[in-house]
Structure 1
């Protein structure tokens, strides 16, 4: 048995259905309240998850203030054009090595947080997000899943104006505005998944299906990404990897996000995040 971990108002909690259980309370004060500490003890989380029926729920997830399950990753990576159909729709050549950029950790928000738009050219990108549990260097692909503490649902929101204001493009800046990294609702351990290499991803905007794909369609699968990154930088607990998005992004359809739009992102066996778009200001791409 595995576990489902949530961040409830900054406190780590285990989840069963819509019930959550404060980790500090059910562990008798043994485990820290910080989700970043909790992920370093996955075996203890699994043990406690098996005993949830012995405890009274602290509350209901649907009524709680839920933050990103990984609130402060040391490093946050993202991968571009990792689905062939997405590369094709963007007119990009098939990458021969992972196209990696960073999303600043400050952009991460919870599963129901508003996405703050600053231009008329903001885009959605549904993604599986992988979280490192056991760090390492030069990790072999065959061992990579053993270094994953869990996975979650993510959105790699992109301001295409900021992204393409310069040559070469600013993938990092255009995708790191505050609120541009919704995550959640829970971190799910790998052993809770029926098939960690084949998860269905669906993204809807205002109920209209925009993206539908499977992680089995990745050009570079999760073990390859982890191995590749670990040969460059030592991976540490809490590092996140946005693994790429299927085809159907707004830029290729002329369907950019607007004030009041609601993005619903679902990955099977993990959950759903729902984020409302709010236009807050205008991005100024030029400097004086």
Structure 2
């Protein structure tokens, strides 16, 4: 199923998207109103949502709601860098021996259709189209062969980066965490609908120009290896977001530079998931 966090008539809650309509959980006592609580509830909440879907009731046209990020404020947002060989080549860096993670702060997260702000302090605003997954179970020391069991589902991420601020420190964190620099969405596709997350086409457009065109099978470290690696160090919890890296084609490596400008729109499409699109505006 495609799980969403949405706002309708000034109330925010959980739902699912079916055939262009929102299955609204309003009034369903077995379905928590927030995504973190929903994921924590596990199979009980999923079963209740499936029953609601099967009932054919509680439907709202999709265009009448405002989508938020599926997980509007993740407890942890971990992103990997240098995870596609073609992107490593365009940066001139060497292949990492270990997965190279950094953090994005939860306050950077926005949803499909919300505006990415070009900050007042920099014009070096860049996009990075990525597959992301969301943890569904509290876990530690997960083996690669068991990692799929702790993934709730998959979504699309735009690891928007303020390139000059990114280089202020080796952690990259500040330049990766400006407000609005974490678009996620449009929904969370449950893992059962993505049989192989390592064979999905991923494309990024800026306005009508195709900037990135790759396949998730080109990742150096796959999703399950990321879970196994991270869970050796830390407890992963429901709602944690892990973004899996970007392929070649980022704006900073174009000639001339392809930085984002107000008035443009970034559109990322991943097969089996959908489209995440966000306009760019000047920071108010």
1:171 corresponds to: 172
In structure 2, which of residues 4, 12, 19 is the aligned counterpart of residue 6 of structure 1? Answer: 4
Contact 1:79 1:242 in 2 (8 A): yes
Matches within 5 A, 1:135-284: 135-164=138-167, 166=168, 168-253=169-254, 254-280=257-283
Contact 1:89 1:247 in 2 (8 A): yes
Question: Deviation at 1:152?
Answer: 0.5
Which deviates the most, 265-274 or 37-46?
37-46
With the length of structure 1 as denominator, give the TM-score of the two structures.
0.91
2:82 corresponds to: 81
1:71 corresponds to: 72
1:55 aligns to 2:60 (yes or no): no
CA distance in 1 between partners of 2:201 and 2:50 (Å): 25
CA distance in 2 between partners of 1:171 and 1:128 (Å): 19
Contact 1:201 1:214 in 2 (8 A): yes
Question: Deviation at 1:46?
Answer: 4.2
CA distance in 1 between partners of 2:39 and 2:25 (Å): 12
Q: Aligned-residue CA RMSD in angstroms?
A: 1.5
CA distance in 2 between partners of 1:54 and 1:161 (Å): 52
The structure-2 alpha-carbon separation of the partners of 1:170 and 1:136, relative to structure 1 and needing over 3 Å to count, comes to closer
SS at match of 2:269: strand
CA distance in 2 between partners of 1:58 and 1:83 (Å): 40
1:15 corresponds to: 17
Runs (5+) with no aligned partner, structure 2? none
SS at match of 1:40: helix
CA distance in 2 between partners of 1:200 and 1:153 (Å): 12
SS at match of 1:33: coil
Cα deviations across residues 152-208 of structure 1 (Å, max 9, x unaligned)?
0110000011112x3x44511101000000111110111112422211111000011
Contact 2:69 2:112 in 1 (8 A): yes
Question: Deviation at 1:279?
Answer: 1.5
1:120 aligns to 2:123 (yes or no): yes
Cα deviations across residues 45-77 of structure 1 (Å, max 9, x unaligned)?
543326524223431223311000011211110
Runs (5+) with no aligned partner, structure 1? 282-288
Question: Deviation at 1:35?
Answer: 1.5
2:38 corresponds to: 38
Contact 1:206 1:263 in 2 (8 A): yes
CA distance in 2 between partners of 1:142 and 1:129 (Å): 19
Question: Deviation at 1:36?
Answer: 1.3
Which deviates the most, 224-233 or 61-70?
61-70
Which deviates the most, 117-126 or 35-44?
35-44
Contact 2:165 2:174 in 1 (8 A): yes
CA distance in 1 between partners of 2:51 and 2:30 (Å): 16
